[in-house]
Amino acid sequence: MTDQNSGRRNGVTLSSEPVLSLSKGRAVAGAVQYGFQCEECEQAIFPATTRSELAWLRERLHVVREVAKHAQTGLDTWMLEGLEFLERHSGHSVVLVSRAGARPTSA
């Protein structure tokens, strides 16, 4: 008979690590701005958004236009700006352009 007294403790330690808060804020690059430019009118706008969202807007123009009809106040400013620009220059050749944020364009 062996007296085995295995009093091994499984100490559960509660780690008090801080919960990582994932900020879902949109990261707008400060250095480069993206926008639409009409090659025929030589007009351009640079809404405060990313390049991918501008490309998305141009691809989905017909969808965004329908949404804008029903929810005129629910859209972001960049969306309305971009939509208005694309509407005004529909049929023109509008391209996605980029510029350095600090430098004003003189073209």
> Which positions touch Zn ion (CB under 5 A)?
38, 40-41, 89, 92
Tell me the closest approach of the beta carbon of residue 86 to Zn ion, in angstroms. Answer: 10
Q: Are 40 and 92 in contact (CB under 8 A)?
A: yes
Give whichever of 51 and 89 is closer to Zn ion, judged by the CB atom.
89
Nearest to 29 by CA among 2, 57, 48: 48
Q: Shortest gap between Cβ of 26 and Zn ion (angstroms)?
A: 28
Q: Please give the Cα distance from 42 to 107 (Å, whole number).
A: 8
Q: Tell me the closest approach of the beta carbon of residue 78 to Zn ion, in angstroms.
A: 19
The answer to whether the CB of 32 falls within 8 A of the CB of 100 is yes
Q: Which is nearer to Zn ion, 58 or 67 (CB)?
A: 58
Nearer of residues 18 and 91 to Zn ion, judged by Cβ: 91
